Amino acid sequence: MSSNHRHASKTAFFCCVVFVFTAILWSANSKAQDKPAGDDQAAPKPTTEPPKTGKLLDGPVITNTDLVTFTVTVTDTYGRYVSGLNKNAFTVLDEKQPQDIAFFSDDDAPVSVGVLFDVSGSMSGDKIKRAREALSRFIQTSHNADEYFLIAFNSRAQLLLDKTRDGNAVLDKLTFVQTRNNTALYDACYLGVEKVQRGAHPKRALLLISDGQDNDSRYTFSEVRRLLKESDVVLYGIGILSGSDSGSGLGMEGQGILDELANVSGGKAFFPRTAAEMDDIFEQIALELRHQYSIGYKPPNFVNDGKWHHIKVKVTPPRGLPRLFVRSKDGYYSLVAPK
């Protein structure tokens, strides 16, 4: 074979190799351009849409914990609030077994407060005016950082204000409200618990202001009672009594309902008969919320089995003080972990 022929063959082979190598590079570059954004090391573009992680984002996130927390109100024989006690003054029994207190506070902490205001037909006249004026006393006495939710209810419960620290805004909303229809009291309680549990503050309370018992709710008394026992929300009932009511007012059954709902939550029900008494009661509730103790403990061998556990709190007064009285929730449900 001549040298010219051998040189031509080598040249052809070299060109073929270059062509194949170029084709491979072009193919790789083309695939890299076709790759979706985020598959390489480049930072993804910011987005305003939340990540889609299934049903967990559809409702409140429930975190199970073995820390049982509740609030405690301590009064003396004259009903005056007693503050300044230390942790050693308290004894907590869970199913009659003494517990080690892991969390204790007597700070004047702000509260998430749900105001449940009856605007049914029986609240016409000066009832709603007197209740609104008394509510202003509560707001004036409360912590400046308290957070308010306002729910008005007649035949249905309606959220009028959501998460505001402006107490005057709550009063303004009630200035021109129209009273009519029946009383969906249980529905209002249910909505109130759901709202304040999503509030900004660990301490949570409901003010239930009504002159009548329920006659138009989807929820039942038993369902609301159970919800209050499960929650960490303290309910205060203010039953507005009037001698002029003819069958539509708060009778003995209605008073019993308010008493029971308040008691299972660790709160209290009041039934003022005069405007001055109503003012004093609202102020008293505000002071109570500012003088409560917060206590927490971790039961040994805690199990999320959904069973009811009885709690009893005792307080030993310091030397020189008379007998003291304690009010708090009487138990909790050890809830089953959500699946």
pLDDT of residue 42: 38
Give every residue of the chain whose pLDDT is below 70, as ranges. 1-65, 242-249, 336-339
C-beta of residue 170 within 8 angstroms of C-beta of residue 142: no
C-beta of residue 292 within 8 angstroms of C-beta of residue 326: no
- What is the phi/psi pair of residue 316, to 5°? -100, 115
- What is the phi/psi pair of residue 81, to 5°? -75, 135
pLDDT of residue 24: 40
DSSP symbols for 278-331: HHHHHHHHHHHHHS-EEEEE--TT---S--EEEEEEEE-PPTT----EEE---E
pLDDT of residue 335: 75
pLDDT of residue 303: 87
- The pair of three-digit structure tokens given for residue 224, joined into one six-digit string: 């609301």
Listed in sequence order, the residues at least 6 apart from 185 whose beta carbon sits closer than 8 Å to its beta carbon are: 116, 118, 153, 208, 210, 212, 213, 214, 217, 257
DSSP letter at 124 equals T
H or E segment at 71? strand 68-75
Segments making up each domain of the chain, as ranges: 68-106+293-333, 111-290
- How far is it, in rounded angstroms, from Cα 330 to Cα 312? 6
Q: Is the pTM of this model over 0.85?
A: no
- How far is it, in rounded angstroms, from Cα 22 to Cα 300? 71
DSSP letter at 81 equals B
pLDDT of residue 249: 64
- At the second CATH level, the architecture of 111-290 is 3-Layer(aba) Sandwich (3.40)
> Which residue carries 């009832």 as its tokens?
127
pLDDT tens-digit map of 277-334 = 999 999 999 999 999 999 999 999 888 888 999 999 999 998 888 899 999 999 999 8
Q: What is the CA angle 313-317-323, rounded to 5?
A: 85
